[in-house]
Amino acid sequence: MQITSAMKMVSAAKLKKAQDAITAMRPYSNKLTELLQNLSASLEGDSGSVFAEQREVNKVLVVAITSNRGLCGAFNANIIKEGNRLVEETYAGKQVDFYTIGKRGNDILSKNNPIAKHEVAIFDDLNFENAASLAEEIMQLYADGAYDKVVLVYNSFKNAATQIIKTEDFLPIAASQEDTAAGDADYIFEPTKAEIVETLIPKSLKTQLYKGIRDSFASEHGARMTAMHKATDNAAALRDELTLTYNKARQAAITNEILEIVGGAEALNG
């Protein structure tokens, strides 16, 4: 109980920093993605970028983001379950490889699925530069034609007790389905719209992956804090139950001793 209580406090301290980071990043990431989609749509569905190229989907890369450590409830199990669902249902009959970020997911997924690459060190120093290098590797795989579609699967942080499983399309870039003609007047493009899109696409993809890893990182600490809180409560209940059992056994032993003394005294008097 002391161990789980200490782990809960450690996770609570780490959660605050991770939560502040993802909360501050989301508006920027979401607005960047929205801007890119609107610009791509205004180019009549052709941004000229290989990352916006729509292909027939035969080979899929699933980027599964889990943690390096356990003791965080169903945090990792939910991602593994979603990954298996994608293989068996959504992309049934297609080649599906995994790019695993986090040791726990790789340990399970690698047993039944091909692993394109495994990454664990990023959580030791989680920053944009390290996430960007991973995004560049994934983007290169797509550009080389190794995969026709790339999907992110991760836990999105809502609060300490709730994590939402997210499955996001990473590549190819999807143009916004909304009518953006009315919004074109709000922008002045320099040098050209196409060149701006070409510059924004890599930045947007790197930011999207970094946000997903950050989301997962905050969710992990929230899940672990909740799991350790429940474990501490269960340990306290077990301790009380064992104390009660011990007291009953002690009371029964004392009663037996008293009965033996009384019985012995009556035998002497007789």
Each residue of 154-179: pLDDT tens digit?
999 999 889 999 999 999 887 666 55
Q: How confident is the model at residue 38 (pLDDT cuts 50, 70, 90)?
A: confident
Q: How confident is the model at residue 236 (pLDDT cuts 50, 70, 90)?
A: very high
Q: Regarding beta strands 59-65 and 95-101, do their DSSP bridges make them parallel or antiparallel, or are they unpaired?
A: parallel
240: in domain: no
- Angle between the N-to-C axes of helices 193-269 and 128-143, in degrees from 0 to 180, rounded to the nearest 10: 120
Burial (Cβ within 10 Å: 0-12, 13-18, ≥19) of residue 118? middle
Q: How confident is the model at residue 215 (pLDDT cuts 50, 70, 90)?
A: very high
How many angstroms from the chain centroid is the CA of residue 78? 9
φ and ψ at residue 190, rounded to 5 degrees: -145, 120
269: in domain: no
Q: How many residues does the chain have?
A: 270
Residue type, 83: G
Which range of residues forms the domain containing residue 15?
2-228
- 82's torsion region: left (phi>0), alpha (psi -120 to 50) or beta? alpha
User: What does the angle CA 59 – CA 65 – CA 66 come to, to the nearest 5 degrees?
Assistant: 135
* pLDDT score at 174: 76
Answer whether 72's CB lies under 8 Å from 80's CB.
no
Q: How confident is the model at residue 48 (pLDDT cuts 50, 70, 90)?
A: low
Q: How large is the C-alpha radius of gyration of the chain?
A: 28
Q: Give just the sign of the alpha carbon dihedral 165, 231, 14, 100.
A: negative
* pLDDT score at 35: 82
* pLDDT score at 41: 67
> Span 69-89, mean pLDDT?
95
Structure tokens at 32: 């960047």
CATH of the domain at 223: 3.40.1380.10
> Span 217-233, mean pLDDT?
95
φ and ψ at residue 97, rounded to 5 degrees: -110, 160
Cβ within 8 Å of residue 169, ≥6 positions away? 149, 150, 151, 152
Q: Cα–Cα distances in Å, from 7 out to 77, 163, 233? A: 20, 19, 13
**Residue 183: is its pLDDT beyond 50?**
no
Residue type, 105: G
Structure tokens at 65: 């983001």
Number of domains comprising the chain = 1
173: in domain: yes
Q: Which residue would you say has higher pLDDT here, 43 or 124?
A: 124
**Residue 213: is its pLDDT beyond 80?**
yes
* pLDDT score at 173: 84
Residue type, 188: I
C-alpha 102/C-alpha 89 separation (Å) is 24
- Round the average pLDDT of the chain to a whole number and report it: 90
**3 state DSSP class of 190:** coil
DSSP class per residue in 101-121? ESHHHHHHHTTTS-EEEEE-G
59: in domain: yes
C-alpha 191/C-alpha 265 separation (Å) is 109
9: in domain: yes
186: in domain: yes
> Span 89-109, mean pLDDT?
95
96: in domain: yes
255: in domain: no
